[in-house]
A = this chain, B = another copy of it.
């Protein structure tokens, strides 16, 4: 009997993979059982009709054939202008590769950076796909465990003590913690990459969701544009998750070589989706603020509620559509806490353990439901933690 490659099997090792609560929530929903689902990093609104109309118009106007595999000139230029404006790093369309979503940008960046077996340093907690993406690209993920007391930010000392790496994979604002890395952390990460002659791969998909401090792209630090690959997307900024429209930013020669990979994988992105992306970007900063505003508002309402009790604490965070809560005071492990919360109250949250080792004792609450549903559920989470307290 012919078998699948070990490589494929090892991308996503079986067993307890942190998605147990998520999968149980999906199963309950499939049975029609009402649920307050705070697991998913996706807006509670749909893509704006004006963007969808732009897509339909482009399709009906004939943009239905093969598009240039690196992206249309129009979209690449608009993305370049946006990145130039937001980071002050001169960026042209030759620095931009359009891909079907930031996840494909990360895969492409890792395929470009790694020889088989190369180590990749990943601050832990991390977005759940990172280790598997590194393995899919033939590399070896190495978690750099951060501490709650450091706000889950990697320290210079820890980075200096870490082993060799061919790439450092960074995500700020961070999923799952919401941490926004300030200049000190980013400088330490940049130095860690430079000291190892490694690539810095920066996932910046939450860069329009920064509530305190400012977004710092490591590409904008001195001498870093030549070794930084930035993954971006319209998913979170423009509520276009399902359209799979993202990009990779990097040195022009690296982007040109990585564009060839698209010929052998996705063969480009639909032209009408790229036209929709052009229209979305043309809507400007006011539109983006409108998309992100609910998360800031909900975050504040949740933080206000935390002030009224002593068991659950928020870790210091400044961005993204999540709150990471320290529930160690409740005396349960995070998976147990989440499982019992789901069983007893039909509220689904992600255990911190789903995102590496560092966030044990924490849960991630996605702020992705309207206040009328989020806040009553949040109150139940707090009172449940109080009840559980030993």
Contact = CB atoms under 8 A, between A and B. Distances in A.
A303 to B, nearest CB: 27
B263 A266 contact: no
Contacts of A65: 42-43, 46, 241-242
Interface string A215-255: 00000000000110000000000011111100000000010
Could you say which of A6, A49, A101, A244 has the most chain B C-beta atoms within 10 Å of its C-beta? Answer: A244
B116 A265 contact: no
A136 interface: yes
Given A11-B260, A104-B265, A64 B42 contact: no
A49 B64 CA distance: 10
Given A4-B112, A7-B138, A260-B12, A268 B244 contact: yes
A165 to B, nearest CB: 12
Interface in A89-133: 100-101, 103-104, 107, 111-116, 129, 132-133
A103 B52 contact: no
Interface stretch (A53-61, A143-151, A332-340): A53-61
A278 to B, nearest CB: 16
A243 B46 contact: no
Contacts of A365: none
Interface stretch (A180-188, A269-277, A318-326, A376-384): A269-277
A154 to B, nearest CB: 20
Nearest to A245: B270
A169 to B, nearest CB: 13
Contacts of A43: 65
A69 to B, nearest CB: 10
Contacts of A136: 111, 261, 264-265
B270 A107 contact: no
B2 A199 contact: yes
B265 A103 contact: yes
A350 interface: no
A238 to B, nearest CB: 11
A27 to B, nearest CB: 14
Interface string A23-52: 000000000000000000011001101001
A132 B264 contact: yes
Given A46-B62, A65-B242, 10 more contacts: A2-B198, A7-B116, A11-B261, A12-B260, A42-B66, A46-B65, A64-B242, A103-B263, A103-B266, A244-B266
25 contacts: A1-B226, A2-B198, A4-B258, A7-B114, A7-B116, A8-B112, A8-B257, A8-B258, A8-B260, A43-B65, A46-B65, A56-B56, A64-B240, A64-B243, A66-B242, A103-B263, A103-B267, A136-B261, A136-B264, A242-B268, A242-B270, A242-B272, A244-B267, A244-B269, A244-B270
